[in-house]
Structure formats: structure tokens, C-alpha cells
Amino acid sequence: MPTESELDAITIDQLRAVPSEKWSLFPGLIGAFVAEMDFGTAPAVRRALHDAVDTGMLGYLPGPTVARMQEAYTGFAKRRFGWSVDPERVRPVPDVLAAFEATVRHLTPEGSPVILPTPAYMPFAPLLRDLGRDVLTVPLVREAGRSVHDLDALDAAFAAGGRLLVLVNPHNPTGRVFERGELAAVAAVVEKHGGRVFADEIHAPLVYAGRAHVPYASVSAATAAHTVTATSASKAWNVPGLKAAQLVLTDDDAADVWQRRCIWTEHLTATPGVLASIAAYDDGEDWLDDVIGYLDGNRRIMADHLAEHLPAVGHTPPEGTYLAWLDLTSYGLDRPAAWLREHAGIALTDGRHCGQAGRGHVRLTLATPRPILREILTRLTEALA
Ligand SMILES: Cc1ncc(COP(=O)(O)O)c(C=O)c1O
């Protein structure tokens, strides 16, 4: 399992040598934009991938491997979240975005608008527009220092014709982990309008002590019956390039439609990715817990540094995910990420890509060795001074 000193010792030169998108897209800059970790992956995942190569398990995804994935995911969901899922209802998909696209295409009325709370994970809005869908953005609102769903605005968006709500939990980019009561309140609005929810729970395993991930579909019989849940080992075990995620179909109608119309989406799923997912869910929890412990330290370093040196930066430490969401609106920068690339040599995600509600903000990936995080914070402080 990785120790703190092992993770601290990973250098920028080593990371650039791999290379990754994080460390190659902006040569010479510190990459902290894309949601990837600088820590490699769990030993169990590495072993599974080596075994796949050694035994030639590189063909199309076989049924028995799907069955192992279903057992592995449902075991993990039970242990980690106390969520009991019928293994048959866990389907392989290549990634969460493909699952989202198939959900919009096949499980919502043709041409119906989609409700997107903002700030939102960047690709959702452009993808919906590519699919010919209007996007009804509903900004999250601040309550007691935390971002929460605006229930009245959600109600109005359903009343305006929205049929599907995109519910990301833990939330990217704010890092919120929504509580059971909050989810139940959202569910009441969805039920009132006979709507459906796409629950994007890709960050579900990445929740800090003191918080608990509650799968939206587990809240009640009603949420189970109006939800399609997408999740993946890709964020928590840092394997997004392996193209394997899971769709959990607790809704009988959705399961039926999926079976009849979405089988080609399953066909895109990569066999090595599914093998890696099995290893992650079955044997990767110790590694994950060590990494979460390290990330927890990183989020504290970030919060302490900002409080001491950059009090004008608005920041609430994430409750889950390894993303920090920084409110730089008081600096009056039109494009803060571009400005920080030029003046601080760090590459962050500009909040405007998360919708109007994200303007003036940046998203920063905390999953980096602490010496690199400290360098990021020093550069941020010097540039903003
Ligand atoms: C909330 C959220 N959804 C979806 C994705 C994309 O997932 P995938 O690579 O499985 O499409 C990400 C990636 O960071 C994400 O943060």
C-alpha cells in the first residue's frame, strides 16, 4: 500500500515521463486540471492487467467476466454504501459519458430538455446540445457555506418540460456529498413531475471521513424506480483510460429498454477495463483507503494555506472527490485559468466550462504529491498577490 513518504517522493519529472494528459497537454506547466491522480493505481489492479496480457484475455468481453464484475460491484456497494443491488441489474458500459448519452437517447422522450444543476462537469452541456437537447441549467445555491440544490428552481425546470435530472453525487466540481435528507427532497420534486434521474456517482468511493455516500437510488423505492445510476472504478482507482464503467438499472422499465436497445453500448466496454474493475472492487479497498487518507491531508493543506495566505479566495473543502473549487471572483479575472497558466505556470480548469455559475472560479485537482501541491499553492499565492 502506498505510504505518505512514497507518494510525497513522486516527482514532476517522473510524471512527465509517463506521460499522461495531465502532464503533457500544457508542456512546462504544472497540470492540475483533469480529474486524474498522480499516484498510479492499486497493486491488485496492476496484477489483473498483467494477468490479462499474460493469459491473452484481450478478446471481446465474455459473459463469465461480466458476471464476476456484477458480483464484485454489488459486493463493494454492499460493503461500502450498505446498498443491495441485484447483480443482474449491473451492466457493463465503456464509460459514464457513454452511459449518459444512451440514457438521454433511449430513456427520455425524444427532444425533451434535460435539467442540469450548475456548476456542472464540463462535457454534459455540450454533449446534450450535440444530442439536440435543450439544457435547463439550475444553479446550485449556497446554504450555510455549502452548495445545495435549489428545489424551487428544479421544480420550475420540470414544470418547463425537463424530463431528466442530472444528479452528480459526490458533486464535481464543488465536492459536495449530498446527504440522505437532501436527496429525498430532490426525489420529492422528481416524483411530483414523474421525472427521471441520471445519478452520476463516479466519485462515490472517494468520500472523506465524517461523510457517507448515499446512492440516490437507495433512498427509497421511488428513487430506485426513477433512476439510472452510473458509476465506475475509474476515478477512485485512477484508470479512466481503461474504458469500463457500470450502469445500475434499479428501474424495471429502464432495464427492459436497456436490454432491447442499448446492447451496442455494452459492446464498447473494454475487457481489460472490466478485469481491472473487478480487481479494484474485490481487492482494492486498502489502497483506496490509504489514498483517501493522503488526499484528506492534501485538502487540509489547501484549506489551511488559503485561509492563511489567500483569504480572498472562496473555498469550501471538498467532502468527497479530489477536486478543489476555488472562487476567484473577487479578483475580477475574466478567464482565471488562462491568467493562471500565464502568470503562475499552473494549468487548472476554468469554471466557465462548468456553466455560467462557474464563471470566475477554477477547479484544481488535489490528487498530486504534497511537494507539488505546495508548489502549486506557492505559485497561486505569488501570482494572485
Ligand atoms: C462527474 C463526472 N462524470 C463523468 C466523468 C467522465 O467519466 P467517464 O470517463 O467514465 O466518461 C467524470 C470524469 O471526471 C466526472 O467527474
CATH of the domain at 372: 3.90.1150.10
Q: Are residues 137 and 85 part of one domain?
A: yes
CA-CA distance, 275 to 129, in Å (whole number)? Answer: 34
Q: What is the pLDDT of residue 360?
A: 98
pLDDT of 136 above 90: yes
Q: Are residues 210 and 140 part of one domain?
A: yes
**Span 225-235, average pLDDT:** 98
CA-CA distance, 42 to 352, in Å (whole number)? Answer: 34
Domain boundary among 227, 261, 283: 283
Cα-Cα-Cα-Cα dihedral sign, residues 371, 375, 376, 377: positive
CATH of the domain at 109: 3.40.640.10
Could you tell me the residue range of the domain that residue 32 belongs to?
A: 4-42+285-384
Residue from 291, 349, 345, 356 nearest 324 by CA: 349
Number of residues written out for the chain? 385
Distance 35 CA to ligand 1 centre (A): 8
Q: What is the percent of the chain where pLDDT is above 70?
A: 100
Instruction: Output the average pLDDT for the chain.
Output: 97
Domain boundary among 230, 262, 283: 283
Distance 385 CA to ligand 1 centre (A): 34
Q: Are residues 264 and 179 part of one domain?
A: yes
Residue 298 in contact with ligand 1 by CB distance below 6 A = no
Q: Are residues 311 and 220 part of one domain?
A: no
Query: Residue 327: which residues within 8 A CB-CB, separation 6 or more?
Result: 313, 314, 315, 360, 361
State how far the alpha carbon of 22 is from the alpha carbons of 28, 33, 129, 267, 326, in Å.
11, 7, 26, 28, 19
Residue 121 in contact with ligand 1 by CB distance below 6 A = yes
Q: Are residues 330 and 219 part of one domain?
A: no
Q: What is the pLDDT of residue 1?
A: 80
Q: Are residues 204 and 115 part of one domain?
A: yes
Q: Are residues 124 and 236 part of one domain?
A: yes
Q: Whose CA is nearest to atom 4 of ligand 1?
A: 96
The answer for 340, left when phi > 0, alpha when psi is -120 to 50, beta otherwise, is: alpha
Residue 97 in contact with ligand 1 by CB distance below 6 A = yes
Residue 234 in contact with ligand 1 by CB distance below 6 A = yes
What's the grid cell of residue 224? 430506485
**Span 348-354, average pLDDT:** 98
Q: Are residues 27 and 72 part of one domain?
A: no
**Span 340-364, average pLDDT:** 98
What angle (nearest 5°) sits at the alpha carbon of residue 94, between those of residues 172 and 27?
Answer: 60
Domain boundary among 236, 255, 283: 283
Q: Are residues 256 and 171 part of one domain?
A: yes
Residue 270 in contact with ligand 1 by CB distance below 6 A = no
**Span 44-62, average pLDDT:** 98
Residue 103 in contact with ligand 1 by CB distance below 6 A = no
Number of domains in the chain: 2
Q: Are residues 69 and 14 part of one domain?
A: no
CA-based radius of gyration for the chain: 20
**Span 134-157, average pLDDT:** 97
User: Which of 234, 242, 364 has most ligand 1 atoms within 8 Å of its beta carbon, as the pocket-test mutant?
Assistant: 234
Q: Are residues 238 and 317 part of one domain?
A: no
* 382 touches 344 (CB < 8 A): yes
How many other β-carbons are positioned within 10 Å of the β-carbon of residue 47? 14
pLDDT of 348 above 90: yes
Cross-strand bridge partners of residue 362: 326, 350
Cross-strand bridge partners of residue 375: none
Q: Render pLDDT for 111-135 as a digit per residue (tens, 0 to 9).
A: 999 999 999 999 999 999 999 999 9
The interaxial angle of helices 285-309 and 370-384, nearest 10 deg, is 20
Q: Are residues 261 and 209 part of one domain?
A: yes
pLDDT of 301 above 90: yes
pLDDT of 248 above 90: yes
